[in-house]
């Protein structure tokens, strides 16, 4: 069965689909800065125009945006802009994944091609992705680095998510320098790569083939990418998404953690995997599901504290920024006490731990860590479709 959900355009950079936890538009506050009004503003280090949050949970008493949050985001985005490579990419170890996350970080402040202080940075990142998608010999549309994939299917999933979010937002920007038709063409091929690579267990492996061992973190990336594509009106095989969600649910352990792989039936049990799995299930519309309560309780054991270091706050494992990017999404989708306890803790930790350059470091590269940190802090802005519910 194939489904196509037509997008409903809203205000200033988002798409709304009824009943879906992604892309629900909310009212904009009266004065929201140049990025949301379509003004073309040159990037400067002195000027600081902060986007305002969209009113979504007015009844919450939580003060999401503290005085230190805006300047911290400013420094992070300025750092990222200074690190963009000549070809539009970011990083060197895993440029497809790093570029996708950096592009999303800029878009989280309302920047898109033709609009916003960092609109040109987003455009260059998108052109890098389109060049890969349209490269001679890449008829399949696998989004991987030239000369061999280092990001592999993780990168393809992040790149597809980035292109889908940009596709939804660029349709509403009349002066966008990126044609939506080019994004759509790249996305259609990217979707097909994901659909054709699903394993018999319902997950995905590191390479774009179905004859491979599945791995849960790769599956998380593909499931979120497909959902984002579907939510902006692109045709996606619903059975593929359903099988992916079923795969993640079957990975749940009795203690609320999630397995590394169904193929190997490995225990997993890490905080990063639990955060990614729970966020993806929420993203698919599973909220008030009794079985997920134990997973929220598992995540809460790793709530950031002033006394805890990065290892403690990532459950003793690596990938602190990966874990907390997904954890903040899971808590945001859950709302209520979960969000009100979690977000101030990770917000304050990131504000206090940012370096003088505006970067965060620990995993992969400064570009990767800084993109994830900036994304976490910008959830309250609610500009990026994935940050709307």
Of 66-70, 125-129, 268-272, the least confident:
268-272
Question: Residue 301 — φ and ψ, nearest 5°?
Answer: -65, -20
Which two three-digit tokens encode residue 151? 């990001």
Residue 64 CA to residue 136 CA, distance in Å, equals: 47
DSSP H or E stretch at residue 156: helix 152-170
Residue 85 CA to residue 77 CA, distance in Å, equals: 15
All domains in the chain, ordered by first residue: 68-387 (1.50.10.20)
Residue 135 CA to residue 232 CA, distance in Å, equals: 25
Instruction: For 13-51, write each residue's pLDDT tens digit.
Output: 333 333 333 333 232 223 333 343 333 334 433 334 555
pTM of the model: 0.83
| 236: helix, strand or coil | strand
Instruction: For 152-177, write each residue's pLDDT tens digit.
Output: 899 999 999 999 999 988 876 666 67
Beta bridge partners of 8: 16
pLDDT band, very low/low/confident/very high, at 149 (cuts 50, 70, 90): low
Q: What was the pLDDT predicted at 213?
A: 86
Which two three-digit tokens encode residue 174? 């009349």
CA distances for 143 relative to 66, 131, 330, angstroms: 38, 10, 27
Q: Is 329 left (phi over 0), alpha (psi -120 to 50) or beta?
A: alpha
Q: Is the pLDDT of residue 281 over 50?
A: yes
């Amino acid at each position: 069965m194939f489904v196509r959900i037509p997008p409903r355009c809203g205000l200033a950079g988002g798409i709304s689909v009824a009943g879906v936890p992604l892309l629900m538009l909310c009212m904009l506050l009266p004065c929201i800065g140049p990025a949301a009004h379509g003004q073309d503003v040159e990037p400067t280090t002195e000027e600081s125009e902060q986007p305002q949050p969209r009113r979504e949970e007015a009844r919450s008493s939580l003060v999401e945006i503290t005085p230190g949050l805006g300047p911290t985001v400013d420094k992070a985005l300025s750092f990222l802009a200074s690190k963009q490579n000549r070809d539009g990419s970011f990083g060197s170890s895993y440029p497809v994944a790093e570029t996708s996350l950096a592009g999303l970080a800029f878009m989280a402040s309302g920047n898109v091609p033709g609009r916003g202080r960092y609109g040109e940075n987003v455009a260059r990142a998108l052109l890098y992705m389109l060049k890969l998608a349209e490269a001679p010999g890449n008829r399949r549309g696998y989004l991987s680095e030239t000369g061999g994939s280092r990001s592999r299917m993780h990168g393809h999933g992040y790149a597809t998510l980035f292109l889908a979010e940009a596709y939804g937002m660029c349709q509403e920007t009349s002066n966008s320098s990126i044609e939506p038709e080019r994004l759509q063409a790249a996305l259609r091929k990217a979707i097909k790569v994901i659909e054709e690579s699903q394993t018999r267990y319902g997950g995905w492996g590191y390479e774009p083939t179905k004859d491979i061992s599945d791995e849960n973190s790769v599956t998380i990336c593909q499931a979120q990418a497909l959902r984002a594509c579907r939510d902006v009106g692109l045709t996606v095989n619903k059975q593929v998404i359903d099988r992916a969600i079923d795969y993640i649910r079957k990975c749940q352990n009795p203690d609320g953690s999630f397995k590394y792989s169904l193929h190997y039936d490995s225990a997993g049990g890490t905080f990063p995997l639990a955060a990614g799995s729970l966020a993806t299930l929420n993203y698919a519309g599973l909220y008030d599901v009794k079985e997920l309560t134990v997973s929220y309780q598992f995540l809460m054991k790793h709530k950031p504290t002033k006394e805890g270091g990065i290892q403690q706050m990532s459950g003793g494992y690596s990938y602190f920024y990966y874990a907390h990017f997904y954890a903040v999404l899971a808590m945001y989708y859950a709302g209520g006490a979960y969000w009100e306890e979690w977000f101030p803790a990770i917000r304050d930790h990131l504000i206090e731990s940012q370096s003088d350059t505006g970067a965060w470091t620990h995993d992969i590269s400064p570009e990767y860590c800084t993109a994830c940190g900036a994304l976490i802090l910008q959830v309250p802005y609610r500009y990026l479709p994935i940050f709307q519910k």
